[in-house]
Amino acid sequence: MPPKRRPTTPTPSPNTPNGVVFEPWKLIVLAMFFLGLGMLLGFFMSEYTRQNRVASMQSAPQQGALPVDQEIRALLQHIGEAETQLLTDPNNPEVRVHIGNLYYDLALARDRTTDRDGTQGAWRRATGHYEAARELGVSDADMLTDLGTAYYRMNQPERAIATYDAALALNPRNANTWMNLGVVKRQALNDIPGAISAWQEYLRLDPTSANADRVRTWLAQISGSVPE
């Protein structure tokens, strides 16, 4: 005999009290709720860990907690989830910033591999989402600092400096912006006085940070003396 079809009317399970039936649409709603909650928590956790990122002075590779291949896979999964959300809400500035951050981290991860094309592609995607967020009204010094760094990594130092200047116009006390501004002036433009000025301002604002000793070393290398 052919197998019986599932009944069109749900029957109570012996494990459900008083004949209560969990209808499929309720399970779908619950699943969507917990998926959204997980994405929201992931968003805040990813933003919480994005502190004091350095453009690059080739002195301390920025590495994640996972092996690079696992980190890349995890980032691609998060990017896919966030871009799916963007399809239903394309004008959400927070989602734009979040995806920009994910592509920024993907570029840093791929920079630790031989995938140069993939690295540059991730930088381009990051700048695209950051710029979209700007057009949607986001004015955030930390985002602009990351945008400037992405332009620097795309070999656009003048655009990077202009973006750092925009970040400092919003928050002139953002020490991380001053540090990265000094990196670009030193590495890309060989602007020694400009780099010294930016790094001195960084140390004035944040003399005891985790990167302070690195900045002192950079200053010593180009000025011949270590600032206090």
pLDDT tens digits, one per residue of 200-220: 999 999 999 999 999 999 999
CATH match of 65-138 with 1.20.1070: no
User: Distance between CA 186 and CA 71 in Å, rounded?
Assistant: 30
pLDDT > 70 fraction of the chain, expressed in percent and rounded:
70
User: Distance between CA 174 and CA 155 in Å, rounded?
Assistant: 23
Quote the pLDDT of residue 24.
55
Quote the pLDDT of residue 6.
36
Q: Cα 147 to the chain's mean position, in Å?
A: 10
Quote the pLDDT of residue 66.
79
User: Distance between CA 64 and CA 20 in Å, rounded?
Assistant: 47
Q: What is the pTM of this model?
A: 0.74
pLDDT tens digits, one per residue of 63-72: 556 799 999 9
| Tokens 């006390």 -> residue | 173
**Which residue, among 152, 145, 106, 148, has the nearest Cα to 125 in the 3D structure?**
106
* pLDDT tens series, the chain, 228 aa: 433 333 333 333 344 444 444 455 445 545 554 455 454 444 444 443 455 566 665 444 455 567 999 999 999 999 999 999 999 999 999 999 999 999 999 999 999 999 999 999 999 999 999 999 999 999 999 999 999 999 999 999 999 999 999 999 999 999 999 999 999 999 999 999 999 999 999 999 999 999 999 999 999 999 875 455
Contact between 186 and 193 under an 8 Å Cβ cutoff? The reply is no
Q: What average pLDDT does the chain have?
A: 81
Write the single-letter amino acid at 44: F
CATH match of 158-228 with 3.20.20.110: no
Domain with CATH 1.25.40.10 in the chain: 158-228
Quote the pLDDT of residue 223.
81
